[in-house]
């Protein structure tokens, strides 16, 4: 049966997954103010594992204090976070799941109101809120590269099945890749080989730090959707460089807060399959040239489309974010034979409570439950 393709067991490095569905990294806003794991974050992750997701990728964990982007974001810049992270891993494994830690540095997208530190990135530019962001020196680049490596080592000690290096959405490594941001004249600017240099150095340092038996993933833009930004052709060239560096899987996303058209989380209803899977045609180009297994995120809402994308070889894994905020048990629902479209309405309302410091949640689902409770009381 074609549908069995989505629910077949696969292996990435030494990590065996029960199906081809991935929970794409999603900022949950459920860490403590200083980035430590909380019971609420553990509970959410267990719900995802029990809900049938083959692989959970955590929200981005910042590798240095000056790399924080968001309120109550997960942190992995110090050994003191390992105990909480290990508790998270143990809970997911006990629920039958697999979990990978996404590691990141925000670069010029760092929130200075949270960090209280100077922002730095590939080139001088306005930061997340128009604040100054200085260009990194070669010493800065080496220091941040080692911070990624130390974070990967902590993730390995905490028991994670692997790490994903965040190279998308105009965070630091994405800034280096993109000619829109990268105006450097040294070995890290100019050609795509130079702009990809820091990413490749980070990937190699991460691999060395955590060993060859852990899965090493990269999340990368398919394109920036901004004039003069990272292009599809440059994505393909970078993917081939990452293949040569020995990464185990690449997740394709897209967009940037600097884009006039597309951010990574597009708001608005997805009415039919034709408007789903934003990057599927880019994914097909990737699969023609790159051997590294592909995870595709962005707008997938229908089981039938997910099935077709995998069957046709457009991607190896289906990554989901917002649908799993509303329905942590979506994958088990689909597995049971209920193949109705994901209930997510893609309004981005889920981020409102997170930005208020209350943590990520689906406000549509909450309203529906409250209405149901009122009707029950009335009746």
Q: What is the DSSP letter of 3?
A: G
Tokens of 49: 């594992």
Other Cβ atoms within 10 Å of 74 Cβ, number: 31
**177 neighbors 167 (Cβ within 8 angstroms):** yes
Among 105, 298, 259, smallest CA distance to 180 is for 259
Tokens of 346: 């893609």
Nearby residues of 233 by Cβ (< 8 Å), 6 or more positions away: none
Percent of the chain as helix, strand, coil, to the nearest 5: 40, 15, 45
Instruction: Kindly list the catalytic residues.
Output: 171
**76 neighbors 154 (Cβ within 8 angstroms):** yes
Among 320, 321, 322, 319, smallest CA distance to 348 is for 322
Among 323, 318, 366, smallest CA distance to 343 is for 323
Other Cβ atoms within 10 Å of 40 Cβ, number: 14
Q: Write the Ramachandran bin of 373: left for phi over 0, alpha for psi from -120 to 50, otherwise beta.
A: alpha
**262 neighbors 254 (Cβ within 8 angstroms):** yes
Nearby residues of 304 by Cβ (< 8 Å), 6 or more positions away: 273, 339
Q: How many CA atoms lie within 13 A of 36 on its CB side?
A: 11
Alpha helices in 133-178 (DSSP H): 138-158, 172-177
């Amino acid at each position: 049966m074609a549908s069995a393709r989505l629910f077949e067991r696969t292996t990435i490095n030494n990590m065996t997954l029960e199906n081809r569905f991935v929970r794409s990294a999603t900022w949950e806003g459920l860490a403590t103010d200083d980035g430590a794991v909380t019971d609420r974050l553990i509970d959410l992750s267990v719900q995802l594992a029990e809900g049938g997701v083959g692989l959970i990728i955590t929200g981005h964990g910042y590798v240095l204090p000056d790399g924080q982007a968001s309120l109550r974001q997960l942190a992995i810049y110090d050994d003191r976070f390992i105990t909480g992270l290990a508790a998270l891993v143990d809970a997911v494994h006990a629920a039958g799941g697999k979990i990978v830690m996404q590691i990141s540095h925000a670069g010029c997208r760092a929130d200075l109101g949270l960090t209280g530190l100077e922002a730095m990135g590939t080139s001088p530019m306005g930061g997340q809120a128009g604040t100054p962001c200085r260009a990194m020196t070669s010493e800065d680049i080496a220091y941040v590269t080692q911070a990624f490596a130390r974070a990967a080592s902590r993730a390995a000690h905490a028991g994670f099945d692997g790490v994903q290096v965040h190279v998308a959405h105009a965070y630091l490594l994405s800034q280096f890749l993109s000619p829109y941001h990268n105006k450097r004249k040294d070995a890290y600017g100019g050609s795509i080989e130079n702009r990809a240099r820091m990413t490749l150095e980070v990937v190699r340092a991460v691999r060395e730090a955590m060993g060859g038996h852990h899965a090493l993933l990269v999340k990368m833009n398919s394109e920036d959707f901004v004039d003069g930004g990272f292009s599809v052709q440059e994505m393909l060239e970078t993917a081939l460089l990452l293949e040569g560096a020995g990464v185990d899987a690449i997740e394709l996303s897209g967009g940037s807060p600097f884009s006039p058209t597309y951010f990574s989380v597009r708001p608005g209803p997805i009415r039919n399959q034709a408007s789903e899977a934003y990057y599927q045609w880019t994914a097909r180009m990737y699969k023609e040239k790159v051997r590294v297994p592909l995870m595709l995120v962005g707008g997938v809402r229908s089981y039938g489309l997910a099935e077709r994308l995998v069957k046709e070889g457009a991607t190896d894994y289906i990554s989901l974010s917002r649908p799993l905020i509303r329905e942590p048990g979506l994958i088990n629902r689909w597995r049971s034979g209920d193949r109705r479209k994901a209930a997510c309405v893609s309004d981005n309302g889920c981020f409102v409570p997170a930005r208020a410091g209350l943590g990520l949640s689906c406000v549509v689902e909450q309203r529906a439950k409250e209405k149901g409770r009122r009707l029950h009381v009335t009746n």
